[in-house]
Amino acid sequence: MLGLEVTGIFTLIWFIVLLWAIIKVFQSGAGALAKAIWVAALLFLPILGLIAWLIFGPRG
């Protein structure tokens, strides 16, 4: 019955990465609309949004 524990650990790691990405979006120099769009993408499309943010997201 190790499956539930492993799933919980991966969920926690995913939540931490998602939270880190959202914090980085707010710390970026992007405009308010761009920040809102990135946060919405991260929240509503978690996997695709995170991949897109890592590739195309605001730098700095």
**HSE (side-chain half, CA atoms, 13 Å) at 23:** 6
Tell me the mean pLDDT in the region 9-14: 88
Count the neighbouring beta carbons within 10 Å of the beta carbon of residue 53: 20
Domain positions in the chain: 3-56
Task: Identify the pLDDT of residue 32.
Answer: 93
Count the neighbouring beta carbons within 10 Å of the beta carbon of residue 42: 21
C-alpha to C-alpha distance for 50 and 24, rounded to whole angstroms: 12
User: φ, ψ for residue 5 (rounded to 5)?
Assistant: -65, -45
Task: Provide the whole-model pTM.
Answer: 0.76
The percent of the chain in helix, strand and coil, each rounded to the nearest 5, is 80, 0, 20
Share of the chain above pLDDT 90, in %: 18
